[in-house]
């Protein structure tokens, strides 16, 4: 790619990217990291980048493992998973990256996977077009340390029955004959057979609902990677972008007080010589 790249410290990419996006709003800034990177060591930076809604495109490559360090469990590894650092099985439950992003009220939240280039391109394009923080979880195989982790849902021969393609304004249907759908129940959304409930009970996907509850409920539908899993855009809403709001505030103050001077500011309060 004809672009600039910056390697930052493990976990700190959202912090470095926040500075860059504020200083250079003319750039398209993409933040790329793993499940360990963004949800363990960098979990704090991720949630605040999402909360602030700064103009970043954040891609989380989720292979449910620490790959580079050769196969330790990560915060998205499934309960019971045997890894080098959980030799008799992992005791804790995993983070669901989409739920975490929605919990931080991210304004754009989507999921795609590494075996469908067309779908991935479309989701990345939507993220790029979004004003504010765009979060994309990419379900990604690690062919060395977690091979086949998403094969049960992303392989071509199972995809129709195992991936639920969310499309704005359309009823949420899946299966080779579109025989399954998603319906709303008091306890949250559930998978139903369309023939049993009737098409009018199938939830129509609306990514623009401001209340994130329905999107959150959709994010809880799947026990990834073993049951039918929604992919596509869960949420896309317009909300104030951070660096634009900060720049506007600076212009407003400058209009009132004139352009500031750093040296004067530093000496404007009592100072001490040590």
Ligand X SMILES: Cc1ncc(C[n+]2csc(CCOP(=O)(O)OP(=O)(O)O)c2C)c(N)n1
Selected range binding ligand X among 36-44, 45-53, 107-115, 151-159, rule: CB under 6 A: 36-44
Q: CA 161, 220, 78: angle at the middle one, nearest 5?
A: 85
Query: For residues 66 and 135, which CB has a smaller minimum distance to ligand X in the complex?
Result: 66
- State which of residues 23, 44, 69, 188 lies at the interface with ligand X (CB under 6 A): 69
User: What is the footprint of ligand X within residues 84-123 (CB under 6 A)?
Assistant: none
- State which of residues 30, 66, 180, 234 lies at the interface with ligand X (CB under 6 A): 66
Cα separation, 216 vs 21, in Å, equals 28
Binding residue count for ligand X, defined by CB under 6 A: 16
Cα separation, 177 vs 269, in Å, equals 72
> Closest separation between CB of residue 202 and ligand X, Å?
36
DSSP string, 221-259: S--TTTS-EEEEEEEE-----HHHHHHHHHHHHHHHH-S
Query: For residues 22 and 41, which CB has a smaller minimum distance to ligand X in the complex?
Result: 41
Closest by Cα among 118, 139, 115 to 59? 139
77 lies in the binding site for Mg ion (CB under 5 A): no
Output DSSP code: residue 95. P
228 lies in the binding site for ligand X (CB under 6 A): no
Selected range binding ligand X among 30-38, 202-210, 222-230, 243-251, rule: CB under 6 A: 30-38
Cα separation, 224 vs 219, in Å, equals 10
Q: CA 137, 221, 71: angle at the middle one, nearest 5?
A: 45
> Closest separation between CB of residue 41 and ligand X, Å?
6
Query: For residues 73 and 216, which CB has a smaller minimum distance to Mg ion in the complex?
Result: 73
Tokens representing residue 42 in the block: 């960098």
36 lies in the binding site for ligand X (CB under 6 A): yes
* List of residues contacting ligand X (CB under 6 A): 9-10, 33-37, 41, 61, 63, 65-69, 74
């Amino acid at each position: 790619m004809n672009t600039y790249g910056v390697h930052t410290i493990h976990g700190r990419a959202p912090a470095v990217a926040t500075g860059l996006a504020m200083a250079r709003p003319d750039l398209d800034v993409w933040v790329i990291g793993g499940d360990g990177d963004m949800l363990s060591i960098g979990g704090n930076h991720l949630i605040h980048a999402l909360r602030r809604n700064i103009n970043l495109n954040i891609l989380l490559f989720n292979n449910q493992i620490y790959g580079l360090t050769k196969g330790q469990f990560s915060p998205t590894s499934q309960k019971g998973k045997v890894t080098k650092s959980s030799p008799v099985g992992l005791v804790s439950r995993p983070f669901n990256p989409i739920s975490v992003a929605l919990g931080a009220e991210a304004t754009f939240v989507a999921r795609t996977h590494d075996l469908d280039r067309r779908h991935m391109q479309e989701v990345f394009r939507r993220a790029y077009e979004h004003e504010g923080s765009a979060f994309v979880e990419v379900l990604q195989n690690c062919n060395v340390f977690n091979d086949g982790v998403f094969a049960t849902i992303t392989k071509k021969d199972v995809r129709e029955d195992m991936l639920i393609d969310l499309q704005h304004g359309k009823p949420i249907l899946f299966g080779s004959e579109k025989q399954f759908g998603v319906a709303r129940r008091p306890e949250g959304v559930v998978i139903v057979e369309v023939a049993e409930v009737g098409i009018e009970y199938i939830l129509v996907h609306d990514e623009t609902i401001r209340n994130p509850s329905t999107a959150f409920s959709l994010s809880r539908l799947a026990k990834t990677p073993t049951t039918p899993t929604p992919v596509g855009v869960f949420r896309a809403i317009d909300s104030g972008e951070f660096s634009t709001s900060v720049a506007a505030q600076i212009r407003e103050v400058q209009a009132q007080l004139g352009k500031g001077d750093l040296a004067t500011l530093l000496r404007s309060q009592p100072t001490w010589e040590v």
